[in-house]
Amino acid sequence: MVGVGEAGDYMAGLTYSYPHRFWTVAGTDTEQAQIRDADSLHLMATVWDPETNMVLPVQAGVSIGVEADGETVADKQPWPMISQNMGFHYGDNYALSGEGVYDITVRVDGMTERRYGSLADRFSEAGEMTVSFEFARAARDNLSYEQFEDKQGQRAATELMNMEMIPTSQVPAAEDLPGTLLGTARGSDEVYAATWLTEPDFLESGQSYLAVSVRTPYNRVPLPMMSLDGSVAGGGETLFDDALRAAIHPDVGYHYGAVVDSTASDPSVTVETIAPPQVSRHEGYETAFLSTPTLEF
């Protein structure tokens, strides 16, 4: 733990580990980011809503700046990332100028995702927080890690970490989603849960809302920054056929959704994945969540 603090409407927490290798994603292709000799540590920022404790994937981005004695040591946008034990966060390897005290600033841009319910009027503005951190190689090198040699090749996931000061990203179980659950389906790894809401306060008369929550299969970590198209049919006609937009709702969590001009009670829904999650992956996820299925509910 480095520290936590308010960053405008957001809360932000900063942690670190030893330098990591990870995989970046472009479309359905991955590329390994190698550890450089100059890398000192792996900095990780988690951003969340202090009222609901919901971890927020911010499409517009997060920046981490590092200063020592008033001089800039590093200032860049870390990658949006998922890991098995930390869930969603932002992270990258950083090269420091040696042991000593650093001021680290986390800047969070305003959200471009749609926001509903109690989140509707929040997170439109950027915010930042700064913490002081003393870097010591001995403390970094004493960080523990665990290998799972007897489980290699098996489908599974490590448990999510329990960090007292920083929440972990999880979406509700499918059966706990509001509205009428239309069903769940699975891509190569990820799980899609579709629900049909007819009573949210953000709807006008004659409208319903389709929400598609995409999550990891074991720990229900949301999979953000996907491109999904959806179609809704009912009563023998097409009611909606367009992109599903990224959104957050206090009861649904992070999801992809659309307002549909219909109050049909039993719609038929098709979801087409145009692009898988455009998020980097820690070890254990480097080959996961890259499929582009078309699913029916």
Q: Which domains does the chain have, with CATH numbers?
A: 3-151 (2.60.40.2480), 174-296 (2.60.40.2480)
Question: What pLDDT does 274 receive?
Answer: 98
| 186 — pLDDT class (breaks 50, 70, 90) | very high
Give yes or no for a contact between 81 and 281, defined as CB atoms under 8 angstroms apart: yes
Q: Which amino acid is at 131?
A: V
The per-residue pLDDT of the chain, averaged, comes to: 96
Question: What pLDDT does 188 receive?
Answer: 87
Question: What pLDDT does 164 receive?
Answer: 87
**What is the mean predicted confidence (pLDDT) over 3-31?**
97
Assess whether pLDDT exceeds 90 at residue 35. Answer: yes
Least confident segment among 101-110, 111-120, 154-163, 260-269: 154-163
Assess whether pLDDT exceeds 90 at residue 146. Answer: no
Give yes or no for a contact between 83 and 284, defined as CB atoms under 8 angstroms apart: yes
**What is the mean predicted confidence (pLDDT) over 214-221?**
97
**What is the mean predicted confidence (pLDDT) over 192-208?**
95
CA pair distance 269, 253, nearest whole angstrom: 20
Query: Looking at the DSSP assignment, which residues form a beta bridge with residue 275?
Result: 227
Instruction: Show Cβ contacts of residue 230 under 8 Å, excluding neighbours closer than 6 positions.
Output: 210, 212, 240, 241, 242, 243, 244, 256, 258, 269, 270, 271, 272
Question: What pLDDT does 41 receive?
Answer: 97
Question: What pLDDT does 262 receive?
Answer: 96
Question: What pLDDT does 130 receive?
Answer: 98
Question: What pLDDT does 152 receive?
Answer: 83
Q: Which amino acid is at 127?
A: G
CA pair distance 255, 184, nearest whole angstrom: 14
**What is the mean predicted confidence (pLDDT) over 185-195?**
96
Torsion of CA 94, 31, 168, 181, to 10 degrees: 160
Long-range Cβ contacts of 1-4 (<8 Å, 24+ apart) = 1/163, 1/165, 1/166, 2/43, 2/104, 2/131, 2/133, 3/131, 3/132, 3/133, 4/129, 4/131, 4/165, 4/166
CA pair distance 131, 142, nearest whole angstrom: 22
CA dihedral sign, ordered 159, 164, 166, 167: positive
Question: What pLDDT does 22 receive?
Answer: 97
Question: What pLDDT does 148 receive?
Answer: 86
Q: Which amino acid is at 120?
A: A
| 145 — pLDDT class (breaks 50, 70, 90) | confident
Does the predicted TM-score (pTM) go above 0.85?
A: yes
Segment 130-141, tens digit of pLDDT? 999 999 999 999
**What is the mean predicted confidence (pLDDT) over 50-75?**
96
